[in-house]
Amino acid sequence: MKFLKLFGRAKSVVIGMIHVRALPGTPLGSMAIPQIIEEACHEAEIYHNAGIDGLIIENMHDIPYTFSIGPEVCASMTAVCAAVRGICPSLPLGVQILSAANSSALAVALASGMDFIRAEGYVFSHVADEGLLNACAGDLLRYRKQIKAEHVQIFTDIKKKHSSHALTSDVSIVETARAAEFFLSDGLIITGTATGVQADPMELRGRAAMMAPRMDYVMQLCCDLSANQQIKAAVKNSGKGSAVAGGTAFLGGLLGGPPGIAVGGAIGGLLGWWMTSGQFRPLPQIIMELPPHQQQRLYADIMAVLGSLDWTDLAQLTALVMGNATLQQQVTAALLSYITKELRAEVRYGD
């Protein structure tokens, strides 16, 4: 999962927003570009010093918004974003250009070194305060490919705020999220009805409920793959082994003097070797015993391999993977990579 690689974790990521002052050519524009850049950089420094996980730069004050932004907006946003990147060289940074100027945001991101954009109107039509906004996923991803900006992630609003969704009243937020995922969105953004209004917890629970079975299906797929190949794994624990060896030698010395040290050390060495080498257990058993956060990481790694594969249940997922030798090898490789690197386990095949 690209989001996980960018931010280092999938949960509790805090992304701050820099609302750039009104740009030249907009109704409220009054500041010169150098002043706008200076203020944006000052805010970025405050965020960075506070330990923020990432930032989005947005032309919030260019009201009233229009779907037809001018080249001066793109040029100004590129200058601002490049300056912020200069003072935050390693912080994940994104850009949004209102309203729904998603292709322009991609171009700005590419030119200024941004990591992601926030896109409106990715899937399904809706009526915003600027007017009717139609889905853009197909054109946007083709444009990203065309300008070779595929490293720039696209985080997409669904059921966007400040909008009427009567046109899609028969499409739930869960179905909208599924559509955005199917159309290769790199991340979903769920908001309240307006800026500053929290998202509906019931809708969030619906999204979580949608994802839970998918994670279970992927875990079961991993279990089936490893069971078919009779894969076993053992987690090494050299620290415990050393402690046991030293402890038994010490106890032997207390009980039998120097000869006891030798005997205790020998016994401890055998016990230490047993604990250090670990016990090989069937990999499916280990997978199902993983704590939730580790299962989530494994799920992210496997989903990165599955990519845009279209599936809805375990039977369909299993059939698609098992019926494709290349995909089966890729999923198995991702599974073993996680087990050996994250769990530091030793792997072997057969009994």
Question: 3-state SS of the chain?
Answer: CHHHHHHCCCCCCCEEEEECCCCCCCCCCCCCHHHHHHHHHHHHHHHHHCCCCEEEEECCCCCCCCCCCCHHHHHHHHHHHHHHHHHCCCCCEEEECCCCCHHHHHHHHHHHCCCEEEECCCCCCEEECCEEECCCHHHHHHHHHHCCCCCCEEEEECCCCCEECHHHCCCCHHHHHHHHHHCCCCEEECCCCCCCCCCCHHHHHHHHHHHHHHHHHHHHHHHHHHHHCCEEEEECCHHHHHHHHHHHHHHHHHHHHHHHHHHHHHHHHHHHHHHHHCCCEEHHHHHHCCCHHHHHHHHHHHHHHHCCCCCCCHHHHHHHHHCCHHHHHHHHHHHHHHHHHCCCEEEEECC
For residue 144, the model assigns a pLDDT of 97
**pLDDT the model gives residue 165:** 87
Please state the pTM of the whole predicted model. Answer: 0.61
Name all domains of the chain by residue range, CATH numbers in brackets.
2-199 (3.20.20.60), 214-236+278-349 (no CATH)
Per-residue pLDDT of the chain (351 residues), as tens digits, is: 688 789 887 778 899 999 999 999 999 999 999 999 999 999 999 999 999 999 999 999 999 999 999 999 999 999 999 999 999 999 999 999 999 999 999 999 999 999 999 999 999 999 998 899 999 999 999 999 999 999 999 999 998 888 888 888 888 888 888 889 889 999 988 887 788 887 776 666 655 555 667 888 999 999 999 999 999 998 765 344 444 444 444 444 444 444 444 444 444 444 443 444 468 889 999 998 888 878 888 988 898 888 767 787 889 999 999 999 999 999 999 999 999 988 888 998 876
